[in-house]
Amino acid sequence: MDFLNAIILLLNYIFVPALAYGSQLALGAIFVTLIYGILRFANFATGDMMSFGTMFTILFTWYFQSVGISLGVLPTALLAIPFAIIFMIGYMLLIDKFVFKYYRVNKSPPVQLAMVSIGVMFVTQAVVRIIIGPSDRRFFDGEKFLIKAGEFKEMTGLNEGLAIKSTQVITILVTLILVSTLFWFLNKTKTGKSMRAYSDNEDLALLSGIDPKRIVMITWIIAGILATIGGALYGLDKSFKPFTYFNNMLPIFAAAIVGGIGNPFGAFLGGYVIAFSEILLTYAYRKFFMYVLPESMEPGGLVQLLSTDYKFAVSFSILVIVLLYRPSGIFKGKVL
Amino acid sequence: MRKNLNVIAAYSIMMGLIILVGIFQSWNIALSIFNLCLISAVMTMGANIQWGYAGLINFGIMGYTALGGLAAVLISVNPVQEAWNAGGWNILFSLFLIIGMVLAVRYVLKKYEKSKIRTYIISTIIILGIIIIRFVSEPGIEAIEEVDPAKTGFLGGLGLPIIFSWIVGALFAGGLAFVIGKVALGLRADYLAIATLLISEIVIAIIKHEDWLTRGVKNVIGLKRPAPYEVNLQQTDWFINLVEKFNFSKLNLISDLAERQAALNQFVIEGSSVFVKLCYSGLFLIVVIILLILTQKALYSPWGRMMRAIRDNEEAANAMGKNVVKQHLLIFVLGSAIVGIAGAMLVTQDGLFTPGSYRPMRYTFLIWVMVIVGGSGNNFGAILGGFVVWFLWIEAAPIGLYLVNLTTAGLDDTHALKVHLIESVPYFRFLMMGIGLLLIMRYRPKGILPEKIEIK
């Protein structure tokens, strides 16, 4: 029985939250990796682009709520996401046309594009803050829990409860569907294959008649979808605050590089690597050991490897270690 | 003279703008803008050495700034004796353990060939070391943090004049840069950018949460000053006389004696804060001028030429026998050290150390905007960038407010859109910075004052 309790404890405090957080990071990391692989620059506006998409989701959610449309138990935001995506894609294409295209056509070095993306970051951040403001916003409605801790305890008779938030389940499901569609698209369709070819060797791809304009446009469209959904899911699960989104850029970068930048599957797994290591290393295992070990051996302290303050630092340290020993990432991406 | 005309013109316009602020808003605001412009200029000089001279991208400016600030705390605050008694030995012992661990790892690295076993040995040393250090330091840290947590709760510093911290800040930042450079300089440009950005976040995390060293988010306030205090100035005779002399014409207009005294008091209060700011300006100006002379000398020395050669064609420079790795490391350390000075100056001016205020937007990306806008590779350009961008950063809100009022003049004062826009005026600075950066990158990629290489 104690053993079961211990497992439930880990599930409740580590596994489920890490899986949800990892999914959110994974979507962002695929976004970074796609842009890096095909447009060839590190996009420092990642976090703010995600917050831009989320902002539209929130605006549409408010609109739907005001006219009285809802999805019942599901959050209204799910209905708003497709509309937000349209606006987001429009914004992405607009930025590309007025900002990034010039440097791409001129074949500027990647560093210059990265600098330009900082300009885009400033502008996007300003637009988001001017439109919706910098404060913390929750836009979740519908049923909050799938399983409540108390219900779970009653059902199983265990000491430990397992609470599963509906947003966590939605996050994981949506991520799985989105990512599998994306991989199917990249690996099986002609357009996807030409995108990979373009990412692999630009000149060769151009020679074989691939239209670069189309590839770039499709990349931005996919990126817009990923950014909006990733951002909206994060906002649903936690809350929407532009500053947090900006900061999320850092673990997202870490996930993309750990997984091997330019490699979407690596980025997907990288998200979970970062999320799990952050939570595993900063969780206090005291209660877990109380269940597993006999009473005489009970630990005195919290049995915490690192204080939770270092959550971000963990992922960055992993990144530094990976960069040192395997600069191409765990799953071979572009070699530096 | 003629060829420097654009430099002189640009600086005169900048000075004119600051003087206009002094006349229309107040001299206090103008001087605080000017001081922060000077600090920003030091930071941009550091970033410019790395980016403009050597083409190294460093997004870790925030980390070095914070380390400079930490130096200011550790140098100037008086030592907390009880805290040292409570846990000083544990901390010192852990410090020795860390040094021992590093030496052990180095020994293993030198002694054995690269192999799997070596990797395992090193990781065992590190993991064991961390566990032992935690066991040693934990009780010490707890004891230190329990010493009067509302006031101290940390080890304190050395109790020296705060000016020394400007040098120590440079040493701290340079030391960190040495470690980071050893680790990350082999990376390609955009990876280096990401890696330095993340490492600087780690530095901030440590400074924020190691309360025994930095007091963390509880902040350190009331640091010593290199300048006199306003309150003391207001009671000194020579200062009151000075203010009286300055405002002689205005005071003479008032005939009533009591009123005259009241007006004089007002002038003295205003004057004291202006005077203190002027003291800081003087100190900062000295630093900026010294650094400017040194960096200009370096730029036109054989060493500067070599750095440009490395920047423009690494392989060719390498083939000519220049040690690219070593020079990159050197310039990384030098640039970061300069940023460290700026960090210490900033804390000196504020008189307080707030680890929570170090954010990448303000301390990394804004500095980069300054370098790019001003003109990378040109020291005068970088300094000008610091001035222009900081000026706009501060004055963006009034300008934004003016623009909002202008464009929504037709609307009612209580109109929702107008109210919303006026509330969001502070964020116009981001918009201005972003658009400015994009425009400069597009139409004047070398910045306002581009790099000029004189071939004689």
The reply to whether A99 touches chain B by the CB within 8 Å rule is yes
Q: What angle (nearest 5°) sits at the alpha carbon of residue B168, between those of residues B152 and B181?
A: 110
Q: Return the pLDDT at A99.
A: 94
Mean pLDDT over each residue of chain A, to the nearest integer:
88
Q: What angle (nearest 5°) sits at the alpha carbon of residue A331, between those of residues A249 and A277?
A: 55
The verdict on B322 and B234 lying in the same domain is: yes
Residue contact B427–A110, C-beta within 8 A: no
The verdict on B50 and B140 lying in the same domain is: no
Identify the band that residue A62 occupies on the pLDDT scale cut at 50, 70 and 90.
very high
Domain for residue B33, yes or no? yes
CATH entry, A2-325, from 1.10.3470, 1.10.10, 3.30.420, 2.160.20 = 1.10.3470
Domain for residue B454, yes or no? no
Contact (CB, 8 A) for A226 and A178: yes
Residue contact B427–A323, C-beta within 8 A: no
* pLDDT of A123 above 50: yes
The reply to whether A302 touches chain B by the CB within 8 Å rule is no
Separation between Cα atoms, residue B79 and residue B154, nearest integer Å? 9
Separation between Cα atoms, residue A113 and residue A119, nearest integer Å? 10
The verdict on B286 and B165 lying in the same domain is: yes
* pLDDT of A245 above 90: yes
Mean pLDDT over each residue of chain B, to the nearest integer:
88
The verdict on B71 and B121 lying in the same domain is: no
Q: Of B176, B385, B378, B367, whose CA–CA distance to B295 is shortest?
A: B378
Interface predicted TM-score (ipTM) of this complex, two decimals: 0.89
Q: Could you report the per-residue pLDDT of B17-57, keeping only the tens digit for each?
A: 999 999 988 888 999 999 999 999 999 999 999 998 888 99
Using a pLDDT cut of 90, give the percent of chain A over it: 52
The verdict on B319 and B231 lying in the same domain is: yes
Of A32-36, B28-32, B86-90, the range with the lowest mean pLDDT is B86-90
* pLDDT of B2 above 70: no
Identify the band that residue A271 occupies on the pLDDT scale cut at 50, 70 and 90.
very high
Give the CATH number, domain containing residue B32. 1.10.3470
Q: Of A36, A39, A38, A33, whose CA–CA distance to A99 is shortest?
A: A39
The verdict on B150 and B214 lying in the same domain is: no
Contact (CB, 8 A) for A22 and A276: yes
**B155, B177, B205 — which closes off a domain?**
B155
Residue contact A253–B442, C-beta within 8 A: no
Domain for residue B307, yes or no? yes
**B155, B177, B203 — which closes off a domain?**
B155
The count of domains in chain B is 2
The verdict on B193 and B261 lying in the same domain is: yes
Q: Of B77, B161, B72, whose CA–CA distance to B346 is shortest?
A: B72
Query: Using CB atoms, which residue from B205, B424, B441 is nearest to A129?
Result: B424
The reply to whether A120 touches chain B by the CB within 8 Å rule is yes
Identify the band that residue A330 occupies on the pLDDT scale cut at 50, 70 and 90.
confident
Residue contact B372–A115, C-beta within 8 A: yes
The reply to whether A299 touches chain B by the CB within 8 Å rule is no
Separation between Cα atoms, residue A253 and residue A237, nearest integer Å? 21
Q: Is residue A196 classed as helix, strand or coil in its secondary structure?
A: helix
pTM for the structure as a whole: 0.91
The reply to whether A109 touches chain B by the CB within 8 Å rule is yes
The verdict on B132 and B19 lying in the same domain is: no
Q: Which chain A residue is nearest to residue B422, measuring alpha carbons?
A: A130
Contacts with B, A 310-329, CB within 8 Å: 310, 312-313, 316-317, 319-320, 323-324, 327
The verdict on B233 and B296 lying in the same domain is: yes
Q: Of A257, A266, A271, A264, whose CA–CA distance to A321 is shortest?
A: A257
The verdict on B197 and B103 lying in the same domain is: no
What sign does the CA torsion over B213, B216, B222, B223 have?
positive
The reply to whether A250 touches chain B by the CB within 8 Å rule is yes
Q: Is residue A165 classed as helix, strand or coil in its secondary structure?
A: strand
**B155, B185, B208 — which closes off a domain?**
B155
The verdict on B295 and B416 lying in the same domain is: yes
B112: domain range?
A: 80-155
Q: Return the pLDDT at A221.
A: 96
* pLDDT of A335 above 80: no
Please indicate whether residue B258 or residue A101 has the higher confidence score (pLDDT).
A101
Query: Using CB atoms, which residue from B190, B431, B433 is nearest to A41?
Result: B190
Separation between Cα atoms, residue A248 and residue A230, nearest integer Å? 11
Residues 6+ apart with CB under 8 A from B431: A122, A123, A126, A127, A130
Contact residues on chain A for B445, CB-CB shorter than 8 A = 112
Using a pLDDT cut of 70, give the percent of chain B over it: 98
Using a pLDDT cut of 70, give the percent of chain A over it: 97
Q: What angle (nearest 5°) sits at the alpha carbon of residue A222, between those of residues A61 and A101?
A: 110
Identify the band that residue A334 occupies on the pLDDT scale cut at 50, 70 and 90.
low
Q: Which chain A residue is nearest to residue B138, measuring alpha carbons?
A: A301
Q: Return the pLDDT at B455.
A: 55
Residue contact A130–B427, C-beta within 8 A: yes
Ramachandran sector of residue B153 (left: φ over 0; alpha: ψ -120 to 50; beta: rest): left
Q: Could you report the per-residue pLDDT of A278-321, keeping only the tens digit for each?
A: 998 888 888 888 888 777 777 767 777 777 778 888 888 888 78
Contact residues on chain B for A129, CB-CB shorter than 8 A = 424, 427, 430
Q: Can you tell me the mean pLDDT for B150-177?
A: 90
Of A184-193, B272-281, B383-392, B419-428, the range with the lowest mean pLDDT is B419-428
Q: Return the pLDDT at B258.
A: 84
Locate the domains of chain A by residue range: 2-325
* pLDDT of B323 above 80: yes
The structure tokens listed for A187 are 């690996």
Amino acid at B60: G
Contact (CB, 8 A) for A79 and A273: no
Using a pLDDT cut of 90, give the percent of chain B over it: 41
Domain for residue B450, yes or no? no
Q: Return the pLDDT at A336.
A: 37
Separation between Cα atoms, residue A295 and residue A303, nearest integer Å? 16
Q: How far is A261 from chain B (nearest CA, A)?
A: 10
Q: Which chain B residue is nearest to residue A95, measuring alpha carbons?
A: B438
Separation between Cα atoms, residue A247 and residue A121, nearest integer Å? 12
* pLDDT of B114 above 90: no
Q: Return the pLDDT at A17.
A: 92
